[in-house]
Amino acid sequence: MTAPRHIILSRTDSIGDVMLTLPMAGVLRQRFPGVRITFLGRAYTAPVLACCAHVDQVITLEELQAQADPVQVLRALQADVLIHVFPRQEVAKWARQARIPMRIGTSHRWWHWTTCDRRVSFSRRRSDLHEAQLNIKLLRPLGVEEVFSTAELAPLTGFTPPRPDATVEPLLRTDRRRVVIHPFSKGSAVEWGLDHYTQLIQCLPADRYQVLVTGTAAEAERYRDGLPLHLPHVTDTGGRLSLTQLIAMIGASDALVAASTGPLHIAAACGRRAIGLYADVRPIHPGRWAPIGPDVHALTAADVPQNADAPARVRAIRADQVVAALDADGRAGANTKSA
């Protein structure tokens, strides 16, 4: 086949999902040197995409929806290929009407049978592969048949955080190991609970650690009554940072602890120690959703009843297990269960 000159990746969902799509852009760069890559995402994920060296242009779903003729906007990009990494019916319709020559989507969405000329058949729900590996399956029509390991995909994110600015830099202590904790998930993941984060903060020696608590302004209102923010080694950054500034702070820190959220995936892509709190049950288990990076610890709890639900499994992860992951020497990469 003729090498494509311009590919659009369409993933209009959350930050974590976008982060796990970035290696796809890296694979395309390897396979088609010189290809132009445009990413169609949500407006709030644009700062994440701005950190990816493989993405040449970002257009947002909100921008297209605001246009009188979104089809003309897509047509003007003169793309050879559009890949529906996250299926969205209106985007599929626009791409067909824009007559983008190759439109790739999963065969499991009925509207792709009328809007896509290439359909790839696989099931995310029943697969044992990681989300980042599943994304690569959509490259089959472009001749990419390999199954990459997550270790092979991790260096392909092309992700570099910005440097801390005048808002972020004063928040960072240079005489302590900086650990970011992100207690909430906006409902995208099972949360550990403020009581567990309190135990973790209290377990971290104030003479060795700085704990940076993050969240939106609304989330900060929720956690300020439940966390020991008065302790001398705790810095509350909730509601004070833009997403770009949050990425910079994560990139300048040593570790991050969170459930399966966007900040966890950002930390992993920055090469920081990413400690994720997971339930070892389908479809939210770490084999599918763990962050990918050189220093990932995806924690699950052992010795929980077989019929325990996901919240009970996450809450069974102990604070001392997280401390052990923070203090571990070298690089991780495997899931870790409590004893």
285-300: pLDDT as tens digits: 899 999 999 999 999 9
Task: Output Rg (C-alpha) for the chain, integer angstroms.
Answer: 21
pLDDT at residue 192 in the model: 96
33-54 mean pLDDT: 97
Residue tagged 């047509």 (tokens): 75
Q: Is pLDDT at 337 greater than 60 in this prediction? A: no
Give the Cβ contact number of residue 5 at 10 Å.
13
120 phi, psi to nearest 5 deg: -110, 130
pLDDT at residue 159 in the model: 98
181-206: pLDDT as tens digits: 999 998 888 999 999 999 999 999 99
Regarding predicted confidence, which is higher, 338 or 199?
Answer: 199
Query: Is the CA virtual torsion 325, 326, 327, 331 positive or negative?
Result: positive
Q: Is pLDDT at 331 greater than 70 in this prediction? A: no
327-335 mean pLDDT: 63
Residue tagged 């120690």 (tokens): 273
263-276: pLDDT as tens digits: 999 999 999 999 99
Report the alpha-carbon distance of residue 163 to residue 169 in Å, rounded: 9
According to DSSP, residue 300 is labeled E
According to DSSP, residue 159 is labeled B
Q: At what angle do helices 243-251 and 262-269 cross, to 10 degrees?
A: 50
Query: Which tokens belong to 21?
Result: 């799509």
126-137: pLDDT as tens digits: 778 999 999 999
pLDDT at residue 1 in the model: 67
111-160: pLDDT as tens digits: 999 999 999 988 777 778 999 999 999 999 999 999 899 999 999 999 99
pLDDT at residue 338 in the model: 46
List the one residue out of 101, 97, 124, 89 whose CA is nearest residue 8.
Answer: 101
- Ranking 54-58, 207-211, 321-325, 328-332 by mean pLDDT, the lowest is 328-332
Regarding predicted confidence, which is higher, 259 or 123?
Answer: 259
User: DSSP assignment of 257-284, as one string?
Assistant: EESSSHHHHHHHHTTSEEEEE--SSTTT
84-106: pLDDT as tens digits: 999 999 999 999 999 999 999 99
Look over the chain and give the mean of its residue pLDDT values, rounded to a whole number.
94
Whether 91 and 61 have beta carbons less than 8 Å apart is answered as: yes
